[in-house]
Structure 1
Amino acid sequence: MALVENAAPPAPATNRLQDYPVDVDAGDLFRHASGDVAEKWVAMANGLSTLAAESGLSVQELVARQIQDMGMSFRIAGDDEEREWPLTPMPLLIGAQEWAEVERGLIQRARLLEQLVADIYGPQRLVDDGFLPAAVIAGSRYFARNMVGLKPRADHYLHVYAVDLARGPRGQWRVLGDRLRLANGIGYALENRLALSRGTGTLLSEINARRVARFFGDLRAGIARDCQRESPRIALLTPGRFNQSYPEQAHLARYLGFPLVEGRDLAVIDDRLYIRTIAGPKRIDAVWRWIDTNALDPLSFDARSTIGVPDMFDAWASGGLEMANWPGVELLEAPAFAAFMPRLCRTLLGEEPLLPNIATWWCGQPVEADIVRARFDEFVITPAFGQPVEGLEDGCGVAGASLSPSARDLLFDAMQRRPMDYCGQEIVHLSTTPALVGDRFEPRPFTLRAFVARGPDGEWTVMPGGFARLASSGGLLTSLMGEGDLSADVCVVDTAAVPDYGSTTLGDAPAIRRGGGILASQAADNLFWFGRYCERAEMTVRIVRSILGSSIEVDAGGGINPAVREKLVELLFLWGAIRAKDQKLSAHEACRIALGDGGLPGSVSTLLGNIRSVGLSLRDRFAPDFWRIASRPMPKLDSHRPGALLRVARELVERFGALAGLGAEDMVRGPAWRFLDIGRRLERALAVCRMTRQLGVLPEADALGALLDLCDSQITYRSRYLSVPLRDPVLDLLLLDAENPRSLVFQLQTLAAHVTALPALGEDNLPEAPLRETRAALAPFLSLTIDAVDDRLLGETERRLLTLSEAISARYFLQFERSEPVVRSNLLV
């Protein structure tokens, strides 16, 4: 029987959702969809099946590749390491007609919240007239008393906010909670759409899913409009790389073109906010903040804050800074406010709520407190102001019926003593949606986070979609992503293609410009040390590889001269990769320690950790391919055998070569690239000096051969000289040959070119300290022949390079205590 090659993949079922199991009483999004929307569901499910059959891979694998390429990750609270983003390939599909009702409700809610916060920080008529108890405001830790009486320059307290929605069994949408402090999930909504679009080809276009890019363009233009300044500079203020949503913030900043800044990047001068850059302070007109109000300014709010900016309060109070969102608006997130929203909507807008809250009773009122106690088992008991209270120490709500008798009694007693700290809320039963789990569709309960932003005309606009969380169980989700939860894109689908939603750009074409934008001093510092750590780690690996066996296969073997091996092991000690006592061990055991001992400052394992740590702060600047390689962990050292260690060393050399190549080919030749390369060149120059002083004194040809190997110049030497390694030709190639990219002179000349191109602060045109030091290090080598180069000159060059490093730091970087230690090996002291 003949074998048939390239057989066609099996055709998918005509309706992959035909046998979709669901409880019709749950209000499933697919089962209850109108006819035309149900057809979109079937088309999407069938399309995913066809895509898998044609590619030979599961759809999950196709989407997972996009997630990896984009560097999508998240961190659950308490985790040290980031996790890969759990995106299911099947999106939520919502028909245009149903979404129109949701959209109107969201815009109404945005208008309500805007007027409510304007009254709270303004005339406070709602309290005076009895529509809102004063305790609901004063009880919130987010109520900023010193913001009372202040107004934004454009009278807009809100620019962007998120709202969690639940769809009930009968298809009704309700608000679970408002998020005005941080619009968490807005970046993941964008990433979900990008990953799904790239992983599923034209499927989203075929079902007429509305695109979301225009929303982000409107968000950016809305903030810019309120700056009342042409071409304003808008920054995204992050609490830092250890924040749970930092990957999302970095992606948003890169997509929107906002500088990603921390508090220590900023300074207030004459009631204006400035970012510290390598070219001096540059004005910031607006900040999209991702930190709490209390942390914004330690002089005006919480003095313990280490992530804020002193005097920032004065900048926005004087009208010199626009803030999205206005400080203090997050007090409206408190569950206690939900109890009053229906009445406030009628009072402030004269309208009935289009999107009602989940029913809420605030126990600060006697009648409501009695209702909650009487119907305790029917409610979720939650902290009234979103912070831990007695009986609810984790700050989350708990179903009354789920409590043990003792826990119930404790909570009852606490509610009796301080009833204003508690709310009772109805238990929400969530609709389900089809989720692709493995090769079958399963119903999962979901919540939807929608996003609303103020556009360039000052009016509200709603993202046509959002970010969905699919629960691993039927419980109400209380965090951004929990253990076992899935994420899903949310697509609003039209019956026919709508041209208005066809834009894939952020807005109108911008004015042509070149360069890499401003470079914050802290970012320059991180780039500089990223380059140094990479080069230092690579050189350590090259020493290990040279000890274990030559990189030229014909020379491989264990026949290296013992004196040379001793000098190489001593280099590992000078690099801080092994301890003094480790020099007495066998060579391969010393190499194993140099590779994998995380307790040593110069080991490869430690340096890789430093690379990842510094690199986390640079994710908005690195391409996904570059970051994916840079963030790889140390390869496992599962054997002590020299051959296994040598394989790890070779793998790491290839990794560092890939990083260097991507950095050279993918980065714009601007200041960011220059600081990355300055770090690399300075570290390489130091290493060449030290290795030459260490090995060049030995008369053996093996020592010169090892030196050529460490400097990756074996092939160049052999093609130039038909002889064994000799001292003068080898040292000339490694020290004075300006055409050899591994030579000392090449590093010094490249450093001089980089430093010359950096911006100067003085107006006198005199060379600044970094340029003077670079020229001083280079000058002696411009007129020397190799016989004039000695140990004294190389030692002096090392000292000048260290002085240059300090001069660069003093001139261009922030002067503060580092959050991560700078590793200084023995050879650098």
Structure 2
Amino acid sequence: MASSAAPLFDAGTIADRWIADYCASAPRDDVLCARGAAGDAWSAVFEELAGLAGDNLETARERAHRHAEDIGTGFRIAGEGEERPWPLSPIPLLIPQAEWDGIATGIAQRAEVMEQVLADLYGPGRLVADGHVPAALVTGSPFFLRPLANSVPPGGYHLQALAIDLCRGPNGEWRVLADHLRAPAGAGYALENRLAMAQTLDGLQTRLNIARHAPFFAAFREGLAARCRRAEPRIALLTPGRLNPSYAEQAHLARYLGWLLVEGADLAVLDDKLYVRTIAGLKRVDALWRRLDPRLLDPLALDSHSTIGVPGLVDAMVAGNVVIANAPGAGLLEAPAFAAFLPRLAELLTGEGLKLPNIATWWCGQDDARAHVEAELDRLLVKSAFGVPPLGLPGAKAVLGSAIQGEARAALLADMARRPQDYVGQEVVHLSTMPVVAEDRLAARPFTLRVFAARGPDGAWTVLPGGFARIGEHADARAAVMGEGMWSADVCVHGPDPVEPVSLLPSGDSTQLRRNPGTLPSQVADNMFWLGRYLERGEAQLGVIRVLLGNSISADTGAALAADTVRKLTDILVSSNAAPAPAGLKRSDLTHLARAALEDGEGWYSVASINAQARLIGQVSRDRLAADMVRLLDAPFPTRGTLLEKAGSLQRRYSALAGLAAEHMGRTDAWCFHDMGRRVERAMATLGFLRAFGRPDATSDDLGTLLDLADSQISYRQRYLTGIARVPVLDLVTLDPGNPRGIAYQVAAISGHLNKLPVLSDDGLAEPQQEQARELAAILVTAHATRMDDALLSVLEQRLANLSDAIARRYFLQGSEPLRAAGLVLA
């Protein structure tokens, strides 16, 4: 009996049933149902899924999502503040190697044609002069950058990397939907998809001989380095910042490629050379992979309103001192209007047609093309010619002609007559479908494929084997209806031959050992410092709230604190703008105060607000922090339980973050700044507690509260068995160098960090921030608890604030910092 039932749970049996049920209702041109010779590969995919999740497809989908989340994959919709998880389908798109070879050849040919066109349009201009390209298509495009005319990019190439969107038609043919040349995004998502799928379906790689991604990224990295003048160039990825929709992808790529992740504020141009501002001074940058809109790159040469660019960057590029990938202005060919001319240009420049054809496109700037679009409007897609919505398509870049009726149609035709150059018409493309998991079953959805190409060190193009697929939310297979897609999928190129296990990591025997973690940009140091400060600030405020609510270690204090002590606690919260002043000291008043100071993010500097500041820094520091630390920073604020339970949950989170920083962050300069931020903030908070609860007239409730807030209650009890007294408490909390929560310990740690950080001169003399730390330490060493008063506490507070300012002036190099400041290192 058992043997006859076993096949029901066999992975192969389940896979065959899934495929048969799916193909019974899916379109005949679906990639799975029309798989032909690739049938065994698709069967292998579903057998792996069945082996993973049994007969439950939803389990496989959840596991793929979990692996993507563990990697840190995310994206942001324009206008939204929060990142969304990357929607990864557990079912990859399979493409046989023989079919992929044709795609890769077509991509490389297209990239080379566009390189030649760009070289002419920004150079001699023969294509325009000879009538092959209308002048209005160039000079009327917002993507044409006049300041770059008649200039040759360093290294000789306009294009170093590009992305191209492909679609698969009902008959299996591949065609180009769009080109992405300005700031091609998505290669990092393709990499992250592959990493997540390798963990989800770990047996598929060797079973199907899936082509690896590493050779592509290695070629890109080496190709960009080969364009630089210096033998060992420094390369950076220029990001618009954390609010960019693909910031998470950019951070992942920078980490994977070993490049600096920088923003415009990190960079400066001096004598036509580009530098990154670091804690060791200015360091030369030889190449940028920009993910910034080219018009925003340089406010001096391009858009003067840009606040995220680098003044003088275009001059540095024209002088040949920095390679920019892709060269500004390359987006000229990204305009949909150019798709109408590229097939003819390919034949003119290479003597052969495009191996991967465009979808049919008509630019309305030509009379015949405009007449065709107007006559066939109901069967075409109407789009902006240059990506900017024209007056006839308000709020939209593309609309199905059949969907435009009545007054909207009249307005479109009228504007098309006034400004025909603003419009293109394109054929309505019908897409092939592929399977996705929807409600624990397989469903057919249309897809497009984004493919990536990069120029290698020899100048030849390397195409990433696979890219990633975008999958539509609905069954409608028209590309215009699908939009940006609902899911993504890994794309696996498989073949009969084993794949060499290539990695970007060099072999152990050939690796040059190093213990220097590399250049630390000043802005990263600034972020690490303030991340430490915010975390300590939140923890200190949380400590006040917990004591106020009665969560004291001592059974003699807490819930029964004297009114004067309670008033001091409320004064601390009110003076820090954490909450409004309470009406009185009744339990209900204190509860309302505590709730506002804990979780009111509207107008008050609550713990929730402080956590939000730390979270923002975590989002821009993905390449510097452990994944677990980022997850804790991103964790939602507690909403369940009593105030004390919420506070306890947050306290455990703070403890976990402190533990991760202490035990998992390498002892690099970045960690030094993070720890210094913690030490500065902890010392500042403790000084505030001393001023409130350590006065000469302090009561036992005051002193017990001080020990609670300084987290030194246990240390005091172990040392003093005769009860609580002011002088021993002050000595422990302020002057004892062995108390890790005391002020003396914090100052000693700050001084130690400053002694290890880079200096700007070799004269052996202390820099200002080092001098101030030593002076502050000397005051604490020579002080005595019996002589501690408000005057001494004020001196300590002022000197600590001055020290924090000195650290900022020296290391964080704000935009107003003179570039030729004494001692700045140029390397």
Alignment map for 1:541-556 (pairs within 5 Å):
541-552=542-553
Note if contact 2:49-2:201 (Cα within 8 Å) is conserved in structure 1.
yes
Note if contact 1:21-1:443 (Cα within 8 Å) is conserved in structure 2.
no
Give the Å deviation of 1:25. 5.3
Q: Deviations over 1:723-750 (max 9, x none)?
A: 3322222222212221211011100100
Q: Deviations over 1:808-828 (max 9, x none)?
A: 11111133599xxxxxxxxxx
Partner of 2:189: 188
Note if contact 1:467-1:487 (Cα within 8 Å) is conserved in structure 2.
yes
Partner of 2:3: none
Note if contact 1:529-1:679 (Cα within 8 Å) is conserved in structure 2.
yes
Partner of 2:729: 730
Partner of 2:299: 298
Note if contact 2:128-2:134 (Cα within 8 Å) is conserved in structure 1.
yes
Is 1:718 the counterpart of 2:717? The answer is: yes
Partner of 1:823: none
The letter of the residue matching 2:538 is A
Distance 1:632 1:676 in 2: 20
* Cα gap change, 1:42 to 1:801, in 2 (>3 Å): same
Work out which of the residue numbers 599, 617, 623 in structure 1 matches 2:626.
Answer: 623
Is 1:352 the counterpart of 2:350? The answer is: no
Partner of 1:788: 787
Note if contact 1:139-1:385 (Cα within 8 Å) is conserved in structure 2.
no
Alignment map for 1:566-585 (pairs within 5 Å):
566-581=567-582
Q: Deviations over 1:1-35 (max 9, x none)?
A: xxxxxx99944415131211466755211122232
Partner of 1:634: 637
Partner of 2:691: 693
Partner of 1:407: 408
Distance 2:816 2:615 in 1: 19
Note if contact 1:359-1:425 (Cα within 8 Å) is conserved in structure 2.
yes
Q: Deviations over 1:439-470 (max 9, x none)?
A: 22111100000000011222110001111100
SS state at 2:434 partner: strand
Is 1:596 the counterpart of 2:599? The answer is: yes
* Cα gap change, 1:312 to 1:572, in 2 (>3 Å): same
Partner of 1:670: 668
Note if contact 2:547-2:558 (Cα within 8 Å) is conserved in structure 1.
no
Note if contact 2:175-2:356 (Cα within 8 Å) is conserved in structure 1.
yes
The letter of the residue matching 1:29 is V
Distance 2:582 2:560 in 1: 24
SS state at 2:216 partner: helix
Work out which of the residue numbers 11, 17, 20 in structure 2 matches 1:18.
Answer: 20
Partner of 1:328: 329
Distance 2:351 2:554 in 1: 83
SS state at 2:162 partner: strand
Note if contact 1:214-1:506 (Cα within 8 Å) is conserved in structure 2.
no
SS state at 1:19 partner: helix
Alignment map for 1:368-517 (pairs within 5 Å):
368-473=369-474, 474=476, 482=484, 485-499=486-500, 502-506=501-505, 510-517=511-518
Is 1:657 the counterpart of 2:660? The answer is: no
Distance 2:15 2:312 in 1: 64
Partner of 1:3: none
SS state at 2:277 partner: strand
Give the Å deviation of 1:395. 4.5
Note if contact 1:212-1:463 (Cα within 8 Å) is conserved in structure 2.
yes
Identical amino acids, percent of aligned pairs: 46
The letter of the residue matching 2:29 is G
Distance 1:560 1:197 in 2: 58
SS state at 2:295 partner: helix
- Give the structure-1-normalised TM-score: 0.93
Note if contact 2:563-2:585 (Cα within 8 Å) is conserved in structure 1.
no
The letter of the residue matching 2:307 is T
Give the Å deviation of 1:393. 2.5
The letter of the residue matching 1:110 is A
Structure 2: tracts of 5 or more residues without a match: 1-5, 818-827
Q: Deviations over 1:177-208 (max 9, x none)?
A: 11001111111111111111123322333222
Distance 2:291 2:210 in 1: 30
Q: Deviations over 1:574-602 (max 9, x none)?
A: 32212345666622221111111213453
Note if contact 2:228-2:287 (Cα within 8 Å) is conserved in structure 1.
yes
* Cα gap change, 1:714 to 1:581, in 2 (>3 Å): closer
Give the Å deviation of 1:79. 2.0
Is 1:204 the counterpart of 2:202? The answer is: no
Between the two proteins, the alignment pairs up a number of residues equal to 803
Give the Å deviation of 1:510. 4.6
Note if contact 1:287-1:324 (Cα within 8 Å) is conserved in structure 2.
yes
SS state at 1:347 partner: helix
Note if contact 2:237-2:290 (Cα within 8 Å) is conserved in structure 1.
yes
Partner of 2:617: 614
Partner of 2:110: 109
The letter of the residue matching 2:441 is R
SS state at 2:408 partner: helix
Partner of 2:679: 681
SS state at 2:20 partner: coil
Partner of 1:4: none
Work out which of the residue numbers 601, 605, 610 in structure 1 matches 2:608.
Answer: 605
Structure 1: tracts of 5 or more residues without a match: 1-6, 819-829
Give the Å deviation of 1:784. 3.3
* Cα gap change, 1:88 to 1:418, in 2 (>3 Å): same
Q: Deviations over 1:72-94 (max 9, x none)?
A: 11112232211111111111011
SS state at 1:177 partner: strand
The letter of the residue matching 2:301 is S
SS state at 2:21 partner: coil
* Cα gap change, 1:537 to 1:40, in 2 (>3 Å): same
SS state at 1:62 partner: helix
Partner of 1:587: 590
Alignment map for 1:51-90 (pairs within 5 Å):
51-53=52-54, 58-90=59-91
Deviates more, 1:283-292 or 1:696-705: 696-705
Alignment map for 1:114-153 (pairs within 5 Å):
114-153=115-154
Note if contact 2:473-2:482 (Cα within 8 Å) is conserved in structure 1.
no
The letter of the residue matching 1:388 is P
Partner of 1:154: 155
SS state at 2:156 partner: coil
Note if contact 2:108-2:462 (Cα within 8 Å) is conserved in structure 1.
yes
Distance 1:718 1:158 in 2: 69
Distance 1:479 1:673 in 2: 49
* Cα gap change, 1:625 to 1:8, in 2 (>3 Å): farther
Distance 1:208 1:571 in 2: 64
* Cα gap change, 1:480 to 1:777, in 2 (>3 Å): farther
Note if contact 2:432-2:477 (Cα within 8 Å) is conserved in structure 1.
no
Distance 1:691 1:8 in 2: 70
SS state at 1:630 partner: helix
* Cα gap change, 1:24 to 1:807, in 2 (>3 Å): closer
Note if contact 1:44-1:207 (Cα within 8 Å) is conserved in structure 2.
no
Partner of 1:28: 30
Partner of 1:778: 777
Deviates more, 1:723-732 or 1:406-415: 723-732
- Give the structure-2-normalised TM-score: 0.93
Q: Deviations over 1:530-575 (max 9, x none)?
A: 1111100100001111111235386686222322222111111232
Note if contact 2:680-2:800 (Cα within 8 Å) is conserved in structure 1.
yes
Distance 1:33 1:521 in 2: 54
Partner of 2:820: none
Q: Deviations over 1:55-104 (max 9, x none)?
A: 99811222222222222111122322111111111110111111111011
Distance 2:132 2:655 in 1: 67
Is 1:767 the counterpart of 2:766? The answer is: yes
* Cα gap change, 1:363 to 1:57, in 2 (>3 Å): closer
RMSD over aligned CA atoms reads 2.3
